[in-house]
Copies of this chain bind each other. A is one copy, B any other.
Amino acid sequence: MGGVTVAASTLPPHLDRLRIDVDRLVSRLDALAEIGPLPGGGSSRLALTDEDRAGRDLVVTWMRDLGLDLGVDAIGNVFGVRPGRIEGPPVLTGSHIDTVGSGGRFDGNLGVLAGLEVLELLAERDVLTDRAVGVAFFTNEEGARFSPDMMGSLVHVGGMPLEEALDTVGIDGATVGGELERIGYRGALPCPGAAPHAFVELHIEQGPVLEEAGITLGAVEGVQGISWQELTVRGQSNHAGTTPIRLRRDAGLVVAETAAFVRRLAVELGGDQVGTVGRMELEPNLVNVVAHTARCTIDLRNTDEATLQEAERRVQAFVEERAAQHGCEIEWRALARFEPVAFDPAIVAMVEEEARSLGHSVRRLPSGAGHDAQMLARTCPTAMVFTPSRDGISHNPAEFTDTADLQAGADVLLRCLLRLATVAEGDDPWPAT
């Protein structure tokens, strides 16, 4: 795919004045949050459950009310498209409405409902865009019930065979295909699907960077590459009192040293390198017994593939050296590996420009979390807009973004979609009459 040719950075006056109705956006967020409600204001709508169906039905009702062209594909992704003046693939926005078990009310919902709000505004003002504009919600982005996460967008772009996805068995024994049938969202559109003209996703940051810096919006340059590994160390169980240090084969120690090294390495590599040991387990896990087995996960992320590979190599070398030192055996299991994704430079620049044009502070940053946009980026020019997350919290009922920030993010989304849907001079197969 090539980049997009985007319209000039200033919108014509009648479009430049448009602002989304943030109260309506918040009302829809509230209404959706009432499905699978959690104490504290969050929601629980695991993919393809009854709660997810109810959430889907509500959003589909809103799409129908706006008179959008509705489509559902074979993996349950739902598209609502507002035709443009010319034929061709739509400029698409969207995200997901499934949640983790203890989800917040923003997360993917914001991207879907802000897209809907853009389309409602265009309808209200009778704006006829050159290109079609659509909003989508993708199936099972969270991966909390069925693995992998971002399944719907992955299948949509041809990154996973449809049949394999449909056969996926969830944590409760149900299959994706069975559940799609059951809730009535196994659609007719083919997978892989046709590529949009471009894709822009609005999402909460899910991290503390914008808030800490006091910046309103993020222009997301790409998604960090992710390396998830599980390390199992096997040593020997021994009495903590009677076994001299030199005779120990302490599996727990190798894991502890590894966790400390992962942090040192992240600091040393600098940039946006992060490294986390979030899981550690010892056996037998007793105060007075040297652990015979220890297990941990290692999460490494970087926007630069070469540096990410270097981090992986250095962690491996460290673990091998320490395991040998302590007389332990090691075993690696790859849990996940994604290369970094770079978003389209022209759209990233457009997000920055439009934020500034509205007087908002904006910073370029990578996404540390995975998003549907990284899948769409395989087939069309793509970027994302981030709004701040209070205290960096997400996947939690305490997840929160200020209404003013919601307005800012949705307005920038609106402006980017308008520019992408506007056929630039000299680039118009169907010139306006």
Chain A residues proximal to chain B, CB less than 8 Å: 205-209, 212, 224, 226, 228, 230, 238-245, 247, 250, 252-253, 255-260, 263, 266-267, 272-282, 284-291, 297, 299, 301, 335, 367-370, 392, 394-395
Given contacts A209-B242, A288-B299, 17 further A-B contacts (CB under 8 A): A207-B243, A208-B244, A240-B274, A241-B274, A241-B368, A241-B369, A241-B370, A242-B394, A244-B272, A244-B274, A245-B263, A245-B266, A245-B273, A250-B276, A255-B280, A276-B290, A280-B285
Residues of B within 8 A of A299 (CB): 240-241, 287-288
- Whether the Cβ atoms of B274 and A279 lie closer than 8 Å is no
**20 A-B pairs, CB-CB below 8 angstroms?**
A205-B242, A208-B247, A228-B287, A239-B392, A240-B274, A241-B299, A241-B301, A241-B368, A243-B368, A244-B272, A247-B392, A250-B276, A252-B277, A252-B278, A253-B277, A276-B289, A278-B285, A278-B288, A279-B282, A288-B299
Residues of B within 8 A of A276 (CB): 240, 250, 287-290
- Complex Cα distance A287/B231, Å? 11
Residue in A212, A272, A280, A284 with the greatest tally of chain B CB atoms within 10 Å: A280
Residues of B within 8 A of A230 (CB): 287
- Whether the Cβ atoms of B252 and A207 lie closer than 8 Å is no
- Whether the Cβ atoms of A208 and B291 lie closer than 8 Å is no
Residues of B within 8 A of A279 (CB): 282, 285-287
Q: Which residue of B lies closest to A272 (CB)?
A: B244
- Complex Cα distance A245/B269, Å? 11
Residues of B within 8 A of A263 (CB): 245, 250, 253
- Whether the Cβ atoms of A392 and B238 lie closer than 8 Å is yes
Q: Known interface pairs A279-B287, A299-B287. Does A253 touch B242 (Cβ–Cβ under 8 Å)?
A: no
